[in-house]
Each structure stands twice: as C-alpha cells, then as structure tokens.
Structure 1
Amino acid sequence: MLRDDAAVRTGATFRLSGDQGGSAATVTRLLGLEPTHSFEAGDRVGRRSAAIRRVSLWMLSSDLPSDRELADHLHLLLDRLEPKAEALWQLTTQGYVADWFCLAASQATEHAIELDRPLLQRLLAVPGDLLLDVMGDDD
C-alpha cells in the first residue's frame, strides 16, 4: 500500500538469466559490477523449499526511493550499465537472456509514466526487453 502522500510506487531491475547454463558469478566477473541479488542454477529456491533453481539469475536494481519516477530508476541503472554495453551484448550471444523489469503501481489518482525518446534510445543501446508491470495500488 502506498503512503497517503505518494501517488505512485515505481522500481526497475535489470536482469540477466543464464537460461543455457551460464552462471551469475560469470556475469559479475565479466561486468565488474556487484549485483543487488544473484542466484545460481542448482541453488534452493528458499531456505525451507525443496525446489531447485533451473537457471542462474543476476539482478541489478535501482536503489532510488519508490516514489520517484520510473524514468529516474531507468536512468540510474543505465548510468551503471551503458559503459558495460559491449560485455552485456556478449553475454546475450552466449545464451544469457536480458530484460528490464519495471514496476509502476498507482492509487486511483491518475499518474502517467513517461519514457521519453532519449531514454528509449538509451535503452536500445543495452540488451533486454522492457517489461512493465503496471497495476493499481488500492486496498
């Protein structure tokens, strides 16, 4: 639930999954960036779960407050990832799957999410489909 003074809750995470056997440790080593979260194929899904992860996952999330605009989260991540674009494209040719997972939750009050052309151009320079999870944030 959103605070009374917040009209929108947003966030963004860049994700690389090793769908063809690649590891999260390889991504960290190649990029020279510490992920926000990472999981390896073969890890247990949770401490108490018997389920085993089938693929690795490397995630870099924006650490901006959730009441900031979605574009702010994306710009922050792009500032860190654009210098690594060549390595990111190389990882996708090795079978890693990239995406940008974005959240936009809004109360009943209207809130438009703006992704301007310069931001979209920046996103195109780095691999990954843009996934938008847009939802209401009411009771």
Structure 2
Amino acid sequence: MQTGATFRLTGDHDRSAASVTRLLDLEPSHIFEAGDRVGHRSGAIRRESLWLLSSDLPPDSELADHLHWLLDRLEPKADTLWQLTSQGYVADWFCLAASQATEHAIELDRRLLRRLLAMPGDLLLDVMGDDD
C-alpha cells in the first residue's frame, strides 16, 4: 500500500502562493506562481498559483495518518484558510491510495472526518492499483 496526502490552495492570476505562505506563516512543500513556465521545456504558462503542503510521513503509512499530520499543522490556521477561500482561493485535500486489489482497506473514522469538515476544501481520493 502506498499513500499520501496534500492540502492544496489554488488561486487565479491575482492570488499568489507567496502571499499564502506569508499569511499562514507556514512553509509549504511546493509553490507555483501564476505566470511561471510549466516545466523547463514547455512553452506553457501557468494560469493559476498553487500552494501545496504535503505530509512527510512514509508512503506506507495509513492515509488517515497523512491527513492527521496535515490537520495538526493546518487547524491552528483555520481562520486564515477560511479567509483565503472567501477571497477566491480554492482549497482541497488531495489523497493518493495505491494498493493491490485485495490488499488493504482505507479507514477514515468519524473523528478524522469531523476535523476535515471543520476546514475548507473538498476531499479528493485518487485510488488506484499498485502495479510494479
């Protein structure tokens, strides 16, 4: 089983990832600004900014543990996150779960779901096979 979770804030060209870092006073895992090039070879220009905070737990951790890790860091910033979403940023919790067909079940208990519901952003689950 491989898992991971990332909290993402996306903003249009008027909303920067750097300002999210300043407002949250929290170091992101990655940021991308609107107007930046996408990759080194592509001529495409990024249309939106993106602020990412990813769990740094090992990929064989439970998905719930990744989400708890993120929530422990983001819950103290909940008011600011709600303010950012009211200003037009879009929030989500992007989760990956890759497993063999009969290997593992993902459990998200009521306590975790209550914590997520108190925060901005939809829960996105990318569930796939773990093919070598």
TM-score, normalised via structure 2 length: 0.97
1: CA distance, partners of 2:88 / 2:12: 7
- Among 48, 52, 56, the residue aligned to 1:63: 56
Contact 2:7–2:93 (Cα < 8 Å) also in 1: yes
Query: Corresponding residue for 2:94?
Result: 101
Query: Corresponding residue for 1:125?
Result: 118
Q: List runs of 5+ in structure 1 lacking aligned partners.
A: 1-7
Give the Å deviation of 1:125. 1.3
Secondary structure at 1:74 match in 2: helix
What pairs with 1:1-139 in structure 2 (closer than 5 Å)?
8-19=1-12, 21-139=14-132
Identity %: 83
Equivalent residue letter for 1:39 = F
Q: Which runs of 4+ in 1 moved over 3 A?
A: none
Cα RMSD (Å): 1.0
TM-score, normalised via structure 1 length: 0.92
How many aligned residue pairs are there? Answer: 132
